[in-house]
């Protein structure tokens, strides 16, 4: 059975388990179409031999929304064939299918679940979320999650979640390794308003296991923090703590063989490490301006490299409404992906990435939006002593027509 079919059946099964009365109030079905043209002056993020081209992407999509007092169900499917002007051999089709389900069993207890399947082919697919650039090999990604939250008292609540992520590559070698990731998290919150107005204390515990073709990494963490509301529109979340990792991987090593010679073999190696983790998120939800600033330091997957890294990041997203039908958006970020040799694997990683993106959108008429923008990135690879820059400009138009409103 194809993975996309499995995703759809998993979401359908979750919906069928809900009480019949849960499906009612607000139902929307929204077909849409987006056509995007862009120019990229460094498609593969290469320090030399840069490849540039014009790319046209056509993305039909369908979104389903069902909301009641207890239920929040969202599902979406998008297919995005893209075409290069001068390099037709790179033409391909991205796909994305996802669903999210939230259901309040009672006033005290709620459950949530998600399922997703994504096919991506572009080298810069994760640039603005991880700071990393890969090849244009196809990556299939499955992502499933399940959890619940429960109020233990008027002031104290708990939540539990688990997740499974699988990444598989069409062409697997030393630079591209498949991944199976399992994770769980337990959170406790307590209202601290009697000591600090509009503040909630947070306590988190978690575990994740990353299984690559050539390495396995176990990751444990605990953090303590708070959530504070400065006003109805400004909110701050801070979590600080510690982590422990245990890595098992293979490395090339010279070994003696009988009778008296040397031979290069892959030898199993283990490593343990302690470190700090933390994050701070400032959110603003004003009438005209919305945005967030996220600063974090944690252990995360390094994508196809077959290892995890210590990732430090600072990412800003802002959106300002200029008029009734137009808005300006700005995003900027810094990522540092670092792993010493023999820390999580035999290889060493040390990359700094800066990116900046700005765009303006205008609702030409109802449900039809025109958008234009510019994106810049700069990556400094300290291990290979290489610097990579990329400029991208784009123009796109999208139209969506809600049905059954």
| pLDDT tens-digit readout, 340-392 | 776 666 677 888 999 999 999 999 988 899 999 999 999 998 888 889 999 99
Structure tokens at 383: 């291990």
DSSP codes joined into one string, 12-56? HHHHHTS-GGGS-SEEEEEEEEEEEEEEES-TT--SSS---EEEE
Instruction: Report pLDDT for 294.
Output: 97
DSSP codes joined into one string, 229-249? ESSSSEEEEEEEEEEEEEEEE
Structure tokens at 285: 């939800």
Instruction: Report pLDDT for 395.
Output: 98
| pLDDT tens-digit readout, 187-212 | 999 999 999 999 999 999 999 999 98
5 has a pLDDT exceeding 60: no
Q: What is the model's pTM? A: 0.85
- What stretch of H or E contains 306? none
Structure tokens at 362: 């205008």
Instruction: Report pLDDT for 252.
Output: 57
User: How confident is residue 258, by pLDDT bands cut at 50, 70 and 90?
Assistant: low
Side-chain-facing half-sphere of 208: CA atoms under 13 Å: 20
Q: Please name which of 230, 165, 241, 167 lies closest in space to residue 204, comparing C-alpha atoms.
A: 241
213 has a pLDDT exceeding 90: no
405 has a pLDDT exceeding 60: yes
Q: CA 88, CA 172: separation in Å to the nearest integer?
A: 23
157 has a pLDDT exceeding 80: yes
User: How confident is residue 239, by pLDDT bands cut at 50, 70 and 90?
Assistant: very high
Q: Kindly list the distances between the CA atom of residue 123 and the CA atoms of 56, 120, 132, in Å, as whole numbers in the listed order.
A: 16, 9, 9
| pLDDT tens-digit readout, 34-59 | 999 999 999 988 878 678 999 999 99
Query: How do beta strands 261-285 and 199-212 pair?
Result: unpaired
Share of the chain above pLDDT 90, in %: 64
Q: Please name which of 51, 58, 212, 57 lies closest in space to residue 133, comparing C-alpha atoms.
A: 51
Q: CA 300, CA 226: separation in Å to the nearest integer?
A: 23
Structure tokens at 339: 């792993």
Cis peptide before 259 (omega within 30 of 0): yes
Instruction: Report pLDDT for 363.
Output: 93
User: How confident is residue 148, by pLDDT bands cut at 50, 70 and 90?
Assistant: very high
- What stretch of H or E contains 228? strand 215-229
Instruction: Report pLDDT for 259.
Output: 62
User: How confident is residue 30, by pLDDT bands cut at 50, 70 and 90?
Assistant: very high
CB 403 within 8 A of CB 31: yes
- What stretch of H or E contains 341? none
Instruction: Report pLDDT for 349.
Output: 83
7 has a pLDDT exceeding 80: no
Domains of the chain, earliest start first:
3-400 (2.40.160)
1 has a pLDDT exceeding 80: no
Query: Cα-flanking dihedrals φ and ψ of residue 8, to 5°?
Result: -65, -45
């Amino acid at each position: 059975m194809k993975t996309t079919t499995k995703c759809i059946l998993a979401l359908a099964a979750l919906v069928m388990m809900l009480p019949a009365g849960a499906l009612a109030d607000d139902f929307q079905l929204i077909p849409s179409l987006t056509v995007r043209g862009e120019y990229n002056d460094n498609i593969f993020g290469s320090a030399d031999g840069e490849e540039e081209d014009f790319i046209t992407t056509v993305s039909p999509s369908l979104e389903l929304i069902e909301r009641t007092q207890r239920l929040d169900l969202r599902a979406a499917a998008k297919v995005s064939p893209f075409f290069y002007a001068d390099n037709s051999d790179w033409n391909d089709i991205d796909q994305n299918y996802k669903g999210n389900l939230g259901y309040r069993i009672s006033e005290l207890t709620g459950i949530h679940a998600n399922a997703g399947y994504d096919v991506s082919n572009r080298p810069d697919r994760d640039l603005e979320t991880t700071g990393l650039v890969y090849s244009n090999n196809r990556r299939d990604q499955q992502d499933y999650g399940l959890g619940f939250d429960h109020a233990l008292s008027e002031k104290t609540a708990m939540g539990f979640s688990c997740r499974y992520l699988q990444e598989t590559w069409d062409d697997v070698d030393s630079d591209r390794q498949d991944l199976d990731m399992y994770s769980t998290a337990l959170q406790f919150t307590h209202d601290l308003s009697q000591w600090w107005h509009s503040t909630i204390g947070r306590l988190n515990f978690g575990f994740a296991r990353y299984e690559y073709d050539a390495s396995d990494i176990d990751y444990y963490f605990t953090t303590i923090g708070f959530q504070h509301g400065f006003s109805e529109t400004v909110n701050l979340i801070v979590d600080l703590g510690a982590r422990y990792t245990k890595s098992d991987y293979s490395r090339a090593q010279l070994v003696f063989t009988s009778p008296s010679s040397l031979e290069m073999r892959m030898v199993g190696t283990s490593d343990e490490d302690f470190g700090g983790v933390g994050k701070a998120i400032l959110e603003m939800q004003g009438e005209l301006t919305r945005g967030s600033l996220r600063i974090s330091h944690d252990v995360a997957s390094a994508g196809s490299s077959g290892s995890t890294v210590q990732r430090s990041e600072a990412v800003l997203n802002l959106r300002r409404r200029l008029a009734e039908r137009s808005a300006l958006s700005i995003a900027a970020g810094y990522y540092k992906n670092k792993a010493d040799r023999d820390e999580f694997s035999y290889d060493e990683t040390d990359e700094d990435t800066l990116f900046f993106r700005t765009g303006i959108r205008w609702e030409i008429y109802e449900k039809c939006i025109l958008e234009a923008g510019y994106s810049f990135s700069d990556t400094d690879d300290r291990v290979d002593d290489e610097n990579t820059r990329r400029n991208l400009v784009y123009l796109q138009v999208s139209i969506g027509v809600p049905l059954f409103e």
